Each structure stands twice: as structure tokens, then as C-alpha cells.
Amino acid sequence: MNRSVVMLGGMLIWFLVGCIISFFAKKRTGAGISEYFIANRTIGGFVSAMTYSATTYSSFMMVGLVGMTYATGISAMGFELSYLMGTILLLVIFAPYFWTVAKKYECISPMELLSKVYNSRLIGGIATIFSLIMLIPYMSVQFTGIGYLMETLTGIPYRISVFITLIIILVFTIWAGMRSVAWTDCLQAIIMFVSSILLLYYVINHFLGGFGQFFQVIQTEHADLLAANKMPYQRFLGLTIPWLFFALTNPQVNQRMFISRDQKSLKTMITGFAIFGFIYTLIVVHIGLAARHILPGVTNTDLITPLLLEKIPVILALIVFLGIVAASVSTLNSIILTLSSMCTVDIYSQLLAADEKKQLLFGKIMVPVIAVLAFFFSLGKFGIIVELSVMSSAGLLALAPSYFGIFWHKRDLMAALSSIMVGGLTTIIMYFTGYYPLGIWPGVWCIILSTIIFIVVSMIRSSHSYKHN
């Protein structure tokens, strides 16, 4: 049977299964914006863990990280495991508090929580606009990942491929909101995990003669990949630091701290994600190392996975392909739904005295609007997948001091606003101009400047307030 037909047929079956899951999710979805955007805080531990994992691990892993490992070896593993450890630490510290505060004040979006803590609607609105600007490139990465694969494996032109992705996302998201996204994320996470294991097992045994031979080949023929310093330290820090704070600064995963049924479910989410993330990272890194031997001399690292899939049996290629599509779709669903909730709660409802029914309608309208914006951005194929992902996270680092400031009694609204705007603008300007002072990447400068501004302005205004009193 034609390879393209098998790929498209498998994708159609996967889409229909997702539609069935969304249909049952719709039947369980009640009325109101809390139900639509955060499933009324009723998601159990296992589903919470799976939706967090699927949301976090996008096509970046099986497309971007495989290519990154191909080029830089175990330095890529250091980068990704640093992210995982940072995320787990932040979840342990912040998740219980965020869950409690969000439930107490009935917060729906992460920016609404900031508004409550800083007692200002302004910070929620500005942070929402800023997040929307920074996450459009990150969303386009998911479209790009699927587009590359579909074009390579099915022959469908890139633009048509990303348009098909757009339709799938809209169906899964608009229909039943968070409950649909969370339930389909379980399917996506399972496919991602199983497909990566099958791919690793096949390439190691078929191309390299087993794990023993694999390790020997890497040590003797590709020893450079085992050097921890193969990636320049400036690039390593520039890639790693933005992702250390990912759990806080990226609203789509931040909002996942709101949806668990109770504290026990929240702990299950953290534990489940930690296990999933650690194993998944090791699998993907080993695939990248194996690809270096199987596909020597490839210069465009984003094409490593598509080229690798052309060398394996069609059924296995289909399963892996669906795993990557599932990863991208789950991430896109979550980002779009979260941004829609932020636009609704932190901007629309603050500007207009709209009732809950109108807010829900506006939120559902924003879903396709945001999705289409990301779709058009992806048509430009800007940059490579790793850099686009990190650029978005680097800009969002400007939010980190404001979140950490929640635990500081001297926190100040103007300090938070200043740190967000200065840090964010600095990152954007540096990426657009390509000028990195001292060779330090924008994300590092962003967290340094934002933190200094937040602390200094808070101290100054706190001192003035004390003198005034």
C-alpha cells in the first residue's frame, strides 16, 4: 500500500478517536466559563499528569531535541534535564499555593491570579497582551513540526499540512474546552510515549545491532557527542535558563496548577509528570544519538526525524508520526485555550460589563482567532524549531520576578509592570537585532534586568511609602 495513503488513513483514524473522546467530554461539560476553561477544577490526578506532560512536551522533543542531540550530543540532554528539574522544583514550591489561591479567589487564568495578588486589573491585561505576543511564535513551532513531517512523509504541501492541523485543533478545542483538551491529552501522551519507545527499540536493534553495539559505536565513532562542552556555554545558558522557569512563565502550564480536583490530585500530577518527563527525555536523546550514525552529514537538524522515519517500516513510521502530531496538537490546544481564557477574563470582562454568557461566547470566538494568527505565522517558516521555542520562553521570563514576588511582602505593582515591560522589550529587541552584549543570550539578560528592576523599584517605593507613613 502507498506510504502516503497509510499515513493519511492512520491520521484520520486518530482524529476520529479524538472526536469521540471530545464528544463524551462535551456531554460531561457544564455551563459557565470556569467549566469551559478549567473544567471547574475537577480533573483527577492521572488526567492532570497526562495533560501536563502532553502540554509541556510538544513536537520540540521528537523533532527539535532529536535534531539538537544529533548536533550537540549529551549537551542537549543536560539542557533538557535541567528544564525538567527546574520544572519539578517550581511545581513543588508554587503549585499547592497557586491551587489554593486560585480556588479561594475563583481565578480562571494565571494573569487573573496576578491581578488578585497585586490588587490591580492592569497587570493582568498587560501580562495577557505580552503573553499573546510571545506565544504566537511558540505556537507556530507546533504547526511547523507537523508541516515538516506531513510534507516529507505524505507529500502533502507544507501549507496544506498546517491548515489540516488548524482544523484538528479547532475541533478538539472549541467543542468542550478544557475537559476535551485534558481527555484528548491522555490519548496524546500515551501515543507520544509508546511511539518513542517503539522507535528507539527499532533503530537501535535494526541499524546498530542492539544497545551494547550502540554504546560501543557512539564511544568509538562519535565520541565528540559525549563531550559535555560540545555546546558553547553561552548557547547552553541561553537555551536552558528560559526553560528553567517554564512552569511559571508559560501560562498554558501555569494554568494546569488550577485544574486538579484536590491537593492529592495535584501531587499525583507532579509525580506523574516527573516520571514521564525523565523517561521520555532519555528516550528522545538516545534516538538523536542513534540518528547521528544512521544519517551522517545532515545540516538542517529539523529534518533529522522526518528523514529517519523514511528509513523505517511504514506502520512504525505512522505510529511515530501520530505521536509527534499528538504532541503538537495537545500543546496548541492548551496554549490557545489558555490565551483565550486570559483574553476573556483579563481584558474583555474588565473593559465591558459582560455577563458570563457573553464572556463564554467571546472566549469561544477567541479560540479560532488565536489559532489563525499562529497558523499564518507558521507559513513563514521563521527560524529553526529549537530557537523559536526558546525565544518565546526567553521573553516570558520577564514574568518570573512578578510570580516570585508573590512571596515577598515588599512586592510592588509598578515594580512588576516595569520588570515585565523592560525585560520583555529587551528580549524582543535583542532577538530582532541579533545583538547579544558580551555574547550573553537574550533570555539571560531578560531575567537579570527584570529581577533587578523588580527588586530596586519595590525597595524604592516601599521606602517612600514608609517615609510617607
pLDDT for 239 equals 84
| Residue among 129, 125, 130, 101 at smallest CA distance from 113 | 101
What are the chain's domains? 3-394 (1.20.1730.10)
Tens-place pLDDT, residues 82-108: 999 999 999 999 999 999 999 999 999
218, pLDDT greater than 80: yes
119, pLDDT greater than 70: yes
pLDDT for 388 equals 64
Binned at pLDDT 50, 70 and 90, residue 465 comes out as: low
The residue with greater pLDDT, 300 or 212, is 212
pLDDT for 469 equals 46
383, pLDDT greater than 70: no
Amino acid at 54: A
152, pLDDT greater than 80: no
Residue 434 in 3-state DSSP? coil
Q: pTM, whole model, 2 decimals?
A: 0.91
Q: Which residues have CB under 8 Å from 297's CB, separation 6+?
A: none
Percentage of residues in the chain having pLDDT higher than 70: 96
262, pLDDT greater than 80: yes
> Is residue 52 within 8 Å of 256, Cβ to Cβ?
yes
Binned at pLDDT 50, 70 and 90, residue 352 comes out as: confident
Matching residue, cell 469561544: 364
pLDDT for 451 equals 97
For the residues 391-414, what does the mean pLDDT come to?
Answer: 92
What count of other Cβ atoms lies within 10 Å of the Cβ of residue 300? 11
For the residues 209-238, what does the mean pLDDT come to?
Answer: 90
DSSP symbols for 87-133: HHHHHHHHHHHHHHHHHHTT--SHHHHHHHHHT-HHHHHHHHHHHHH
pLDDT for 44 equals 95
Q: Residue 403 has which C-alpha cell?
A: 510570580
> Is residue 284 within 8 Å of 65, Cβ to Cβ?
yes
For 229, which DSSP code?
Answer: T
For the residues 20-33, what does the mean pLDDT come to?
Answer: 85
pLDDT for 431 equals 84
pLDDT for 58 equals 77
Amino acid at 26: K
Matching residue, cell 513510521: 317
Tens-place pLDDT, residues 441-451: 999 999 999 99
| Residue among 100, 108, 241 at smallest CA distance from 177 | 108
Binned at pLDDT 50, 70 and 90, residue 53 comes out as: very high
1, pLDDT greater than 80: no
Q: Residue 390 has which C-alpha cell?
A: 526558546
For the residues 33-41, what does the mean pLDDT come to?
Answer: 93
Across the chain, mean pLDDT equals: 90
